[in-house]
Each structure stands twice: as structure tokens, then as C-alpha cells.
């Protein structure tokens, strides 16, 4: 399946559906797509994970969430209580693992099982409010409410030239 010839598939819709399903199955967190102007947070620190992929198309997929959401994500994935000894690294690792699964499943949903993609190792950085606001302003970024907390995801495709 090629996005350039099949205009009925919106990669953003696929990404959102996959992200919501992965959050539910892997982290027992429930999400829904939300207009970005309705995403309100008091958070001052966020985790931003991104990774690149190459194959029939190349691109980048990313996710950004308040640190507290990432801590809850880690607790749910690890099966521990939030007040147990979770390190900041656990929160970042959980977000990176979630992104890795979202990326793989999104590519399969968009292109099927046959194409082979090479995935980079997810990169993680801690960002502040200014970076969050900048990501909110990007057209390709999708807003999600995950357990009533804001999360941003994106998929930027760049088709390979022959």
C-alpha cells in the first residue's frame, strides 16, 4: 500500500488509533484524540521521545508528555505503584518503549507486513514549556487526552526519491 496512491488513508488517523490501542494494551491507560487547543496542562517539564525509520518511506515519529504522565506510564508498564521507587530514567524508558511499539505498529497498519523498515533507537530529551508550546503549534502534531492528561504525537513522512 502506498500513501501516494491511496488518498483514503490518513496517516494521522492511523497513528492516533494505534497510539490509543497501544496505550490501552501495554500501559492500561485510556486515551482519545483531542483538539490541541483543549489540551491544558500545568506541567513545566516534559519528556520528548522520537525515532526515525527508513524503508519504502522514511520519516520520524515522536511523542511528548508531561513527566508525571511518563511516571504513571512506567508504573503501569512495570506493574508497580506510583509511590514505589521509580527513577526518572524509568519514566523516560517507558516512553521510549511505548514509542517503539507505536512506530512499528503504525508502519504495519499503513504499509502491511511485507515491507521492511529499519528503525532507529528512540532518542529522549527533557523539554520545558516553550518546547511543548512549539510542538503544539506544529500542524502535523496530534493531541491526545490520556487518562485526562495531554499527550502529543506526530508522524512526519518523507518519501524516498528514486
The domain ranges of the chain are: 11-32+45-157
- Say what the pLDDT of residue 5 is: 39
CATH superfamily assigned to domain 11-32+45-157: CheC-like (3.40.1550.10)
Answer yes or no: are the C-beta atoms of 46 and 152 closer than 8 Å.
no
Q: Which residues, listed in sequence order, are joined to residue 156 by a DSSP beta bridge?
A: 60
CA dist 159 and 150 (Å) reads 30
**DSSP-based three-state secondary structure for 1:** coil
Run means of pLDDT, 10 residues per run, the chain, 162 residues: 54 96 96 95 96 95 96 91 78 96 96 95 97 94 96 86 42
Instruction: Find out whether 5 and 101 touch, Cβ atoms under 8 Å.
Output: no
Q: CA torsion angle for 84, 127, 38, 145 (degrees, to 10)?
A: -40
Q: Taking the model in full, what pTM does it have? A: 0.90
Angle in degrees, CA 145, 18, 160, rounded to 5: 120
Amino acid at each position: 500500500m502506498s500513501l501516494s496512491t491511496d488518498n483514503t488513508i490518513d496517516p494521522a488517523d492511523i497513528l492516533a488509533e494505534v497510539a490509543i490501542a497501544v496505550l490501552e494494551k501495554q500501559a492500561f491507560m485510556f486515551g482519545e484524540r483531542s483538539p490541541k487547543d483543549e489540551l491544558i496542562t500545568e506541567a513545566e517539564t516534559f519528556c520528548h521521545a522520537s525515532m526515525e525509520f527508513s524503508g519504502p518511506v522514511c520519516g520520524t515519529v515522536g511523542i511528548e508528555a508531561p513527566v508525571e504522565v511518563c511516571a504513571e506510564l512506567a508504573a503501569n508498564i512495570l506493574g508497580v505503584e506510583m509511590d514505589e521507587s521509580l527513577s526518572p530514567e524509568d519514566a523516560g524508558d517507558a516512553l521510549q518503549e511505548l514509542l517503539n511499539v507505536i512506530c512499528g505498529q503504525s508502519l504495519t497498519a499503513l504499509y502491511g507486513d511485507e515491507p521492511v523498515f529499519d528503525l532507529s533507537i528512540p532518542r529522549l530529551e527533557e523539554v520545558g514549556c516553550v518546547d511543548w508550546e512549539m510542538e503544539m503549534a506544529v500542524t502535523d502534531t496530534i493531541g491526545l487526552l490520556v487518562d485526562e492528561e495531554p499527550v502529543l504525537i506526530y508522524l512526519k513522512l518523507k518519501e524516498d526519491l528514486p
